[in-house]
Amino acid sequence: MVKTLFGISVVRLLALSSSLLALISWASSLTLQDDRAAAWPYGPFLVSGTEMKNSQGDSIVYAGTNWDGHGEVMIPDGLQYQSVESVVSMIKSLGMNAIRLTYPIQLVDQIYDNGGKDTTVQSSFIQALGQTNGTKVYSQFLAKNPSFNTNTTRLQVFDAVAAERHSWFGDSDYNVANWVRGLTYMANHGKSWTALTSISLRNELRSPDNNATLKSESYNWRDWYTFIKQGSSAINAANSDILIFLSGLDFDTWITPMVQGTAMTPGTATYSAVDFPGYANKLVLEIHNYNNDATNCSSLQSTLYHDGFQAMHPEDSEAVNVLPVLLTEFGFEQTSTEWQRTYATCIANYLSQQKAGWFIWVISGSYYIRSGTQDYDETWGLLTHDWSAWRSQSYIDGGLKPLVENTAKG
Ligand SMILES: *[C@@H]1O[C@H](CO)[C@@H](O)[C@H](O)[C@H]1NC(C)=O
Ligand SMILES: *[C@@H]1O[C@H](CO)[C@@H](O)[C@H](O)[C@H]1NC(C)=O
Ligand SMILES: *[C@@H]1O[C@H](CO)[C@@H](O)[C@H](O)[C@H]1NC(C)=O
Ligand SMILES: *[C@@H]1O[C@H](CO)[C@@H](O)[C@H](O)[C@H]1NC(C)=O
């Protein structure tokens, strides 16, 4: 279904546990896609040094956008305003080659609770927005997306699954077994997608501030490493063809112990490929950065470097483990001026220099519901409230398109 919907050949899944992520991608140019449609995307991908490569040995650099789907409705946002096809075609018009779709693990939990069956989008809208608004927004969704109908399930809309956003392994509302089960389910499910090439473990691991004991005893690199091994092993057992993205602590802002090979504190273990038997060459690192008030670009770039990008510098003796690193989230208010300030220009320069993959937050204009407010305006969204036009045309032309050019196509 997703394949048909997107009308393009490639679907990647990037599953994070706190909010699992799906990555949908197509060939980096239409010509390529047409010519190579039969074999695209040339999976499985592998990691070689600092690069992700397809099975033909070409390096792959993702240049894309996040698309939020882990809100209460549990389908990608904006579909009451625009069709899937039109959102995708706007993304493609930027030259981007990937989409990172977020989705909640809870979706898989509900499928298990429901005897293996997903619930319909219709009931999901009503559940999230209430009878009156849910019914209304669902009918707008159908009007914009006529290939869906009353039987359409959430998985059929974006075919992916995952987690909670604010918890840590072991929280009362966060269950490791369910997480592993969710990753396994999605890694398996994704086999039916033409080009599932990556899956991620968890989104933005946050400190479990609601549980001081858990926080002090477990929110650390030692336990992170334990769970990362479990999750990645489950994914690899379910589907050995996909890359596995690892994200670090503190909202995924840093993953330095993986890079520098230092102790996973308070333990003493260090990253070792033998802990990922047969699939260490599937591991990719990701970080997020939202230092929006930065005024000093060298300082921001130094932060990015030490938080993760150092892994792309084998010439640096401190980079004990060399791996590809992607900036899977960064973003800022879509005004005519914000993109010209230090944070945005500095990150764009950095990604271009590093030839690193990235995903901007976010292709959106509004959320079905966020923080309890329905039809919530996303001022950081690339699109206007009704998802019909770019919110900041000057950024699209002056900042975003050049960034795509300089990374994916550079
Ligand atoms: C339902 O939608 C209307 C706008 O269409 C909004 O004003 C109202 O707050 C929504 N109801 C709830 C419960 O959020
Ligand atoms: C929905 O499913 C039911 C039961 O399988 C079927 O009778 C009905 O025709 C379907 N509706 C649509 C619109 O496909
Ligand atoms: C807090 O964490 C501890 C240690 O994992 C756990 O035993 C306890 O049930 C948790 N309490 C709550 C309220 O989640
Ligand atoms: C900017 O950051 C660099 C590197 O951290 C530092 O050496 C420099 O002094 C800073 N410049 C200003 C103007 O603060």
DSSP letter for 156, please: H
Beta bridge partners of residue 67, listed in sequence order: 101
* Ligand 4 mean position, distance from CA 91 (Å): 36
3-state secondary structure of 155: helix
Pocket probe for ligand 4: among 291, 293, 299, 301, the residue whose CB has the most ligand atoms within 8 Å is 299
315 burial via Cβ count (<10 Å: 0-12, 13-18, 19+): exposed
Pairing assessment for the beta strands 373-377 and 366-370 based on DSSP bridges: antiparallel
Which residue has better confidence, 79 or 21? 79
Q: How confident is the model at residue 409 (pLDDT cuts 50, 70, 90)?
A: low
Residue 97: CB atoms within 10 Å: 26
Tokens in use for 82? 């625009």
Segment 349-377 shows an average pLDDT of 96
> How far is Cα 5 from Cα 3, in angstroms, rounded to an integer?
6
The answer to pTM > 0.75 is yes
| Residue from 166, 167, 169, 172 whose mutation best tests the ligand 3 pocket (most atoms within 8 A of CB) | 172
Picking from 250, 249, 271, 251, the residue whose alpha carbon sits closest to that of residue 260 is 271
User: pLDDT for 137-185, tens place per residue?
Assistant: 999 999 998 989 999 999 888 552 222 223 344 454 457 788 788 888 8
Give the torsion through C-alpha atoms of 266, 272, 274, 279, to 10 deg. 110
| pLDDT tens readout for residues 280-314 | 999 999 999 999 999 999 999 999 999 999 999 99
